[in-house]
Amino acid sequence: MKEIRKIAIMTGGGDCSGLNPVIRAVVRTAIMKYGLEVVGIRHGYHGLYHGDFVKLGLEDVEEIITKGGTILYSSNKDNLFQYPVRDANGEFVRDENGKLTYEDVSDVGVENLNKAGIDAVFILGGDGTLTSGRDFARKGVNVIAIPKTIDNDLAFTDFTFGFDTAISVATEGLDRVRTTGMSHHRIMVVEIMGRGAGWMTLHAGIAGAADVILLPEIPYDINKVAEKIKADKANGKEFSIVACSEGAKSLDGKQVILKVREDSPDPIRLGGVGSVVADQLEKLVGSEARATTLGHIQRGGVPTAHDRVLSSRYGYAAVELCMKGDFGKMVALQGEQMTAVSLEDVIGQKTKNVDPNGELVTMAKAMGVCFGD
Ligand code: F6P
């Protein structure tokens, strides 16, 4: 095996709390334990394509453990294996049907790594970013992958950093709207991120004592939700808290789409279901209802202590994997153990979703929470 002397690290996809603590752990372990050189690739695959590399020293990761976001910046629309073609003016080149056209520019990324003398690249990202990571590994790049998603929906790993921070923020959101609900006898709907997975809403909903939890995994019947709120009212409870996933589906299986980002590998952005649910409940129940969308507030800010520890574990385990020459793998948390799984096994797996008959849902139902089913 070629000796590892110089590594690169990059962050792709949406940011989340915990990325900086991972970068810190990788840089400190690589330099302090192994005396490696470390390079940061800025703006994810965009920077890999354009050779936007910076040297990372211990001083660059000082004081970043408390910071949200990523000091390396990120991009969620630069798949080098399917890169939108642009003309000389930077405009997208479209086919006769008006659709974007694509080309494979991944060789440029490989060349840039070789030119910079990089022996291994650490890729932090979710589904899309890690799919490209696997494809670079197939091209012979020494890839070490670190899973990143606040949605906590990646297969083979129990918890990802950023999730704990996100659910803490969402729980605080539920706690805060509670006072208005109580003071004004209102139905307060809080829309929580998570794309097609209801983990954040389920955890925050339980922690925030929501009366109703609506998840993508359990299609809801709005009439059943209204009945539950009316029954609570009849029993003297004058307000209700509804934790609603942005990906919640009504019985017809439809989700509410906020926008479509044509140039993104994952173009659908969900959003707006909270307002739809609030309007419907106002009519059906006859109480005033308000919706709050937490949005990116859940992704930002100071990582919790739990996430800082988890991020440090991911970063350290990633460097150890690299020094063993165990490439093409993703670091994973399984139970209490940090372990590693082949990217070939991870990619293409179904996302990890809430089990409608699992322990958490069963427990919440036993305590009177309505899931609209
Ligand atoms: O996957 C993380 C996530 O925050 C989802 O929960 C959310 O649906 C999506 O990203 C939002 O993406 P963007 O930042 O592109 O709007």
- Segment 78-132, tens digit of pLDDT: 999 999 999 999 999 999 999 999 999 999 999 999 999 999 999 999 989 999 9
Per the residue annotation, which of 78, 151, 164, 232 is the catalytic one?
151
Angle between helices 19-28 and 305-323 (to 10 degrees): 40
How high is the pLDDT of residue 265?
77
pLDDT at 264: 80
289 close to 281: Cβ distance less than 8 angstroms: yes
For 293-304, what is each residue's pLDDT tens digit? 999 999 999 999
Contact 310, 333 (CB under 8 A): yes
Q: What is the pLDDT of residues 11-57, one digit of tens each?
A: 999 999 999 999 999 999 999 999 999 999 999 999 999 999 999 99
* pLDDT at 228 exceeding the cut of 80: yes
Residue 272 identity: G
pLDDT of residue 2: 80
Separation of 279 CA from ligand 1 center, angstroms?
24
Report strand pairing: 120-125 vs 143-147: parallel
Closest residue by CA, ligand 1 atom 15: 14
Give 271's pLDDT tier (boundaries 50, 70, 90).
Answer: very high
Nearest CA to ligand 1 atom 6: 194
Share of the chain above pLDDT 70, in %: 100
Summarised one tens digit per residue, pLDDT across range 138-195 is 999 999 999 999 999 999 999 999 999 999 999 999 999 999 999 999 999 999 999 9
Q: How far is the CA of 137 from the centre of ligand 1 (A)?
A: 26
pLDDT of 263 strictly over 80: no
Percentage above 90 pLDDT, the chain? 96
Residue 339 backbone class (left: φ over 0; alpha: ψ -120 to 50; beta: rest): beta
Whether 77 has a pLDDT exceeding 90, the answer reads no
Q: Does the pTM of the predicted model rise above 0.85? A: yes
Smallest Cα–Cα separation from 279: which of 271, 264, 290? 290
Query: What is the spatial distance between Cα 26 and Cα 16, in angstroms, rounded to a whole number?
Result: 17
Pair of tokens at residue 214: 């609506």
User: Annotated catalytic, 135?
Assistant: no
Q: Position of tokens 């991972």?
A: 22
pLDDT value of residue 76: 85
Phi and psi at residue 258, to the nearest 5°:
-80, -50
- Could you tell me if the CB of 125 is within 6 A of ligand 1? no
User: Mean pLDDT score of the chain, rounded to an integer?
Assistant: 96
Position in ligand 1 atom list of the atom nearest CA 258: 16
DSSP 8-state class, residue 90 = S
Burial label, 191 (beta-carbon count in 10 A; 0-12, 13-18, 19+): buried
**348 contact partners, CB below 8 Å, separation of at least 6:** none
Ligand 1 center to 146 CA (angstroms): 18
